[in-house]
């Protein structure tokens, strides 16, 4: 596609529910990143994929958060037993792998609200 797309654009859920957030990277981009942005803050790294595997998941806050990228393209961020503190904008970015300058391109984000 022309750019990174994310669905849904908005998600409202109740505390304790399970949610899935989807990211479609730019075609041909093998590096994919998830970030989380709270109000008034810059984005914070969650997890980074090279192809199908998670190269770095050190930013995931706890084991309720999990992400997959089974075919090396679309990625899904999964949050179990959601808490009010999970409310934020979840951003996805992609870049080319293996060659500089490694510019990251961001999607529009998914705004998650946990009631």
Partner 1 sequence: KQEVTQIPAALSVPEGENLVLNCSFTDSAIYNLQWFRQDPGKGLTSLLLIQSSQREQTSGRLNASLDKSSGRSTLYIAASQPGDSATYLCAPGPNSGNTPLVFGKGTRLSVIA
How many Cβ atoms are within 10 Å of 30's Cβ, its own excluded? 17
User: Given candidates 21, 23, 36, 43, which one binds partner 1 under the rule CB under 8 A?
Assistant: 43
What CA dihedral angle connects 103, 51, 66 and 9, to 10 degrees? 50
Q: How far is CA 110 from CA 35, 48, 92, 98, 106, in A?
A: 11, 17, 9, 28, 12
Q: Does 104 engage in binding with partner 1 (CB under 8 A)?
A: yes
User: Given candidates 13, 20, 45, 72, which one binds partner 1 under the rule CB under 8 A?
Assistant: 45
- Shortest distance, position 42 Cβ to partner 1, whole Å: 3
What residues line the site for partner 1 (CB under 8 A)? 4, 6, 31, 33, 35, 40-45, 48, 50, 56, 59, 91, 93, 95, 97-98, 100-109, 111
């Amino acid at each position: 596609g022309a750019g990174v797309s994310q669905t849904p654009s908005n998600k409202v859920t109740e505390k304790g529910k399970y949610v899935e957030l989807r990211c479609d990277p730019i075609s041909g981009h093998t590096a994919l990143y998830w970030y989380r942005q709270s109000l008034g803050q810059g984005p914070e790294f969650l997890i980074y994929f090279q192809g199908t595997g998670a190269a770095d998941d050190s930013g995931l806050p706890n084991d309720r958060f999990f992400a997959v990228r089974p075919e090396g393209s679309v990625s899904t961020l999964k949050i179990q037993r959601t808490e009010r503190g999970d409310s934020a904008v979840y951003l996805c970015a992609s870049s080319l792998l293996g060659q500089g300058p490694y510019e990251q391109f961001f999607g529009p984000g998914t705004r998650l609200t946990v009631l």
